[in-house]
Structure 1
Amino acid sequence: MNLLATELSVGLICFLVYRKLYTAWKDRGPPGPRGLPIIGNMLQIRKLPWITFTTWTREYGPIYRINIGGQNAIILGSTKVASDILDRRSGITGDRPQNIVTRILTGDLIFAFSQIGQTWRRMRKASHDALGPQIAKNYHSLQEREAIVLVDEMIQTPLQFNAHIKRASASIVMSIIYGIPIADSKDPIVMNITQFVDRALGAAAPGAFLVEYFTWMQYLPRWMSGWRRYAEFWYQQDSVMLTGLFSKAQTRREKGEDGPSVAAALMDSTEKDALTLVDSAWLSATLYAAGAETSAGQMEWFMISMLLHPEVQTAAQRQLDDVVGRGRMPTFADYDHLPYIRAIVKEVLRWRTVLPIGLPHRVSEDDWYEGFFIAKDSILIPNIWGMNHDPAIYGEDAEAFRPERHLTEDGILASAPKDTKDESHCSYGFGKRICVGRHVANRSLFIEMATILWIFNILPSKDHNGNPMLPDARPTRGDSLNLRPAPFQCEIVPRFENATEIVAQAKSMIV
């Protein structure tokens, strides 16, 4: 009996010592703003959280802690800190936190949101095999084709430029993923899959559902859980839709009717790497979700940047005239000779990324960083907006749109800032979760921007008094997963006489 009592006493002492040490470690976590009881800092980050995070970075430093409904979250506010933690420690920071609603809504099959496991690894490898830097070149012809169709539409109905941009972005991604070009932005296929994307992104947005913070709600009866009924219903509906879409691509493949596409690459995968039909369907949809809306959003910001900075538009057109001339349209053969256009791509992605806050990561074990304790299961949130506007990296004019910051004095592309992976910005994320489609996305943006600037002058619309109406470029519309500009108008005018004839001739050869 005495031996048992001694063992219990020693065990209790060890537990109390461990608890005291662990509490002391937690108290040595990063600093951060005070919040309210229970809900923490939730109310402070409901609107424009990327702006709030950037302000707090100036006050608390590049790594600080906030409380989101009882969940410990670490905000990463500088490129160095994010790269140290998410790139160089990706072995313990590459996972995602559990998102209860998204997991049910998607069957845990959107690998961008899912936690690391065998299915995630197979999906990640398959997507890299289909969209890697060398494979990206296989899609040049269809990207050029869509750029031609885009400017032809803008010639015919210039006031509907925004709808044309959305159609082109959807068509490029649908062609790359499924081998299906899209002729109309209101195509039922596009509308259905866009609604699916909206549901998935909406569920993943911070604060979308209270059950993510008050997790005890997941144990409530189904009749009390409207969020669960919503998620289960749409998972069933979307599974049928996405599987059917992939099956149609499979049928075209079997008939020899398709060209290079992600769906074709998935069907050609070796048995070891092969995914099930459902896995392949959801992987394809994930890649569409990651590409279509983001590309359309970046093109909208491009149009605004040209309206606000006519000097940039003039400089780009000067280089286009020197390299391409006015007798043909730009192609990817001009890619290496148009550094100013490539600098514009980089600057649009830096200046107004459509994803101002990166998707959260999760720490899988206790860790330390520069004297701060980071507890296991902490959420890591990279503030992409703050990193892309960091004066320490981009200069005191970091808020300005200036493509020249990405060029040397000789006008060639400058080396990218450290830890930006040759992108010159952080908009594609970090570590194991970096965007696999970034090489394709960069090329799509390049050929669309080059083609638009080759043929058009983009000019401000005028009010009834003849005064130019400039768009609002403030980053105040949208949520943390989809930053979009406020609606705006502009005039799109061909800039030389035979431009429309050249476009019409080019289109006649692809239709």
Structure 2
Amino acid sequence: MHLNPMHWQYLVVVGVLVVSVLTLLKRRRQTVHGFRLLPGPVPLPLVGNLFSIDAKKPWMTYAEWATRYGDIFTIRVLKQDIIVINSEKIARDLFEHRSNIYSDRPYLATRDPYGWSFNLAWAQYGDKWRSQRRIFHQTFRAEVALVFRPVQLRKAHQLVLDILSAPHDFSKHIQKFSAAVIMSIVYDYEVAPEHDHLVELSERGNALAMESLTPEVSSIIDAFPFGKCLPEWFPGAVLRRKADLSKHCAMQMIEEPFEYARKREAMGSSASAMALDFLRATKDVDDPSQLQLSKDTCATAFLVQKQQTTSTLKCFMLAMLQHPEVQERAQAEIDAVVGTDRLPNFDDRPNLPYVEAILLETLRMAIDHNEDAYPEPDVFKPERFFVGGKLRGDKSTESLAFGFGRRACPARYNADNSVWIAIVLILCALKIAKARGEQGEELDFEPTFNYGVTTSPDPFPCSITPRLNVDIHKLSTADSFE
């Protein structure tokens, strides 16, 4: 085809524009606000690396990129730059040793529209964050967390009984246990045996939040803010509908359990609970700002603790199913230390190092797959925490799962106790094995995981039966709680 001079001029102009845009994108990629960015995958114009990320398993994409670009690299999703860290050492160097620089939280475009501005975990550094943190510390510091052990023990016994009564619903029983413990501690609220309104409400709200408060989803909302302004009836207004539902759930989760606690206090309850202690200690309980601060902090405690406990225990159940040799070794340790005439309690913890290693490995599998620090990172190996036959000095409350520095979960001691007592009682009283078909054959399956702020396995088939050498009836006797 013959091109006249005008065509050539047009092509030259287009070529110059393309080169100019690519040059600007490259420079934008290399620097932001005068600071040079870390290496990372080359982004496409406008969309960045959005379409290169596995939407269902983004951690797999990040792990693959880490092998190419190192343990800290930058990606771009639409107009948002995201720094990905794949090293415990780097994370601790930044968030613990330099926490005065890295204690803030980035702007998340989904936080306010989805109703989660109340949550301490997502709050930006400031006066409100410090006030909420102070309230948390008063209730959940290490020495105070000991007070809640009887509640945790009692609820863990009920968890085992619930699993035995309906093994196929073990995932729901774990969710109920997690909610029952923390709602008792925060609101002096007893969860109903079935279909508790507040538990179901928290499940709906939490599911929406865990999905929306990720950097990837936030980047989409930030790039297309008009999506949250569309009327609900408008075709494709999914984000708006989800945001409205999430905000409604969040408001109910903040208000309803706190009002329950307020009525309990007005009726003269003598119980100790986070919300009740606040109402007793505050002179002017009608001060709107102080009241809202307490409501927000209590709701944060409930939701964060519930999610931490639930996801950890689900990961533990899957690990025991996939590694029967680990389960058997732990049960042998419990039998040797505890015997068969009673059930384990918190006093047994120092004498059960292999059970402790299982907890440490469960937390690691949820959060740290760095091969340099943990050889064979995808293999569940509690033995990795032993040196010379003795448990290393690792403490589960110092796990990456609980965060770093000033942002470390202030209620981690309480969450740690809840998870440990549930794990040791499940191991003591139950046997977890593969489900079997009609002919008695073991049924294999490929586990799937839900993705959000936290990751946990989806419900999976398994067989759960009582261990023959443990008297399950002791779980329902009053003596077992002493």
TM-score (ref. length: structure 1): 0.79
Farther-moved stretch of structure 1 (118-127 vs 492-501): 492-501
1:261 maps to 273
Partner Cα separation in structure 2 for residue 293 and residue 23 of structure 1: 37
1:305 maps to 319
2:357 maps to 343
Tell me the amino acid that sits aligned with residue 180 of structure 1: Y
- Determine which of 386, 393, 398 is the counterpart of 2:373: 393
Partner Cα separation in structure 2 for residue 24 and residue 182 of structure 1: 50
Partner Cα separation in structure 1 for residue 182 and residue 333 of structure 2: 28
Structure 2 residue 43 is the aligned partner of structure 1 residue 35: yes
Partner Cα separation in structure 1 for residue 275 and residue 230 of structure 2: 39
- Determine which of 398, 408, 418 is the counterpart of 1:434: 408
Residue-by-residue CA offset, 1:309-347 (whole Å, 9 max, x unaligned)? 111111111111121111111111112111111111111
> Does the 8 Å contact 1:149/1:507 carry over to 2?
no
Shift of 1:215: 6.2
3-state secondary structure, aligned to 2:361 = helix
1:145 maps to 154
CA gap of 1:320–1:267, structure 2 versus 1, over 3 A, is same
> Does the 8 Å contact 1:164/1:185 carry over to 2?
no
Partner Cα separation in structure 1 for residue 386 and residue 155 of structure 2: 28
> Does the 8 Å contact 1:350/1:425 carry over to 2?
yes
Partner Cα separation in structure 1 for residue 132 and residue 160 of structure 2: 35
- Determine which of 367, 385, 392 is the counterpart of 1:414: 392
Partner Cα separation in structure 2 for residue 161 and residue 258 of structure 1: 34
1:453 maps to 427
Tell me the amino acid that sits aligned with residue 406 of structure 1: F
Residue-by-residue CA offset, 1:412-435 (whole Å, 9 max, x unaligned)? x2023xxxx765742222232222
Tell me the amino acid that sits aligned with residue 404 of structure 1: E
CA gap of 1:85–1:241, structure 2 versus 1, over 3 A, is closer
Shift of 1:103: 1.7
Partner Cα separation in structure 1 for residue 453 and residue 228 of structure 2: 28
CA gap of 1:150–1:190, structure 2 versus 1, over 3 A, is same
Partner Cα separation in structure 2 for residue 399 and residue 155 of structure 1: 30
Structure 2 residue 448 is the aligned partner of structure 1 residue 469: no
State the number of aligned residues: 449
Partner Cα separation in structure 2 for residue 219 and residue 344 of structure 1: 43
2:19 maps to none
- Determine which of 250, 259, 273 is the counterpart of 1:247: 259
1:485 maps to 457
> Does the 8 Å contact 1:66/1:73 carry over to 2?
yes
CA gap of 1:470–1:253, structure 2 versus 1, over 3 A, is farther
Residue-by-residue CA offset, 1:442-471 (whole Å, 9 max, x unaligned)? 111111111111112222221233221245
Q: Percent identity?
A: 29
Partner Cα separation in structure 2 for residue 463 and residue 480 of structure 1: 33
Partner Cα separation in structure 2 for residue 233 and residue 307 of structure 1: 36
> Does the 8 Å contact 2:78/2:220 carry over to 1?
no
Tell me the amino acid that sits aligned with residue 159 of structure 1: H
Tell me the amino acid that sits aligned with residue 349 of structure 1: L
Tell me the amino acid that sits aligned with residue 389 of structure 2: D
- Determine which of 89, 104, 126 is the counterpart of 1:80: 89
1:364 maps to none
Partner Cα separation in structure 2 for residue 77 and residue 498 of structure 1: 43
Tell me the amino acid that sits aligned with residue 459 of structure 1: A
2:21 maps to none
Residue-by-residue CA offset, 1:83-131 (whole Å, 9 max, x unaligned)? 2222222222211122233123326221211212211110111112211
Tell me the amino acid that sits aligned with residue 335 of structure 2: D
CA gap of 1:215–1:126, structure 2 versus 1, over 3 A, is farther
Partner Cα separation in structure 1 for residue 462 and residue 131 of structure 2: 45
Tell me the amino acid that sits aligned with residue 485 of structure 1: P
CA gap of 1:88–1:151, structure 2 versus 1, over 3 A, is same
Partner Cα separation in structure 1 for residue 137 and residue 443 of structure 2: 43
| RMSD, aligned CA | 3.1
Farther-moved stretch of structure 1 (94-103 vs 113-122): 94-103
Tell me the amino acid that sits aligned with residue 393 of structure 1: A
3-state secondary structure, aligned to 2:159 = helix
Partner Cα separation in structure 2 for residue 70 and residue 234 of structure 1: 25
2:59 maps to 50
Residue-by-residue CA offset, 1:149-186 (whole Å, 9 max, x unaligned)? 11122233333322222211221121122121213352
2:212 maps to 203
3-state secondary structure, aligned to 2:477 = helix
3-state secondary structure, aligned to 1:47 = coil
Note the 1:53-68 alignment, pairs <5 A: 53-68=62-77
Partner Cα separation in structure 2 for residue 445 and residue 101 of structure 1: 30
Gap runs ≥5 in structure 2: 1-26
> Does the 8 Å contact 1:245/1:281 carry over to 2?
no
CA gap of 1:492–1:68, structure 2 versus 1, over 3 A, is same
Partner Cα separation in structure 2 for residue 431 and residue 324 of structure 1: 36
3-state secondary structure, aligned to 1:330 = coil
3-state secondary structure, aligned to 2:84 = strand
Tell me the amino acid that sits aligned with residue 130 of structure 1: T
Residue-by-residue CA offset, 1:346-382 (whole Å, 9 max, x unaligned)? 111111x2xxxxxxxxxxxxxxxxxxxxxxxxxxxxx
3-state secondary structure, aligned to 1:72 = strand
Q: Which has the higher contact order (CA 8 A, sep 6+)?
A: 1
Shift of 1:269: 4.7
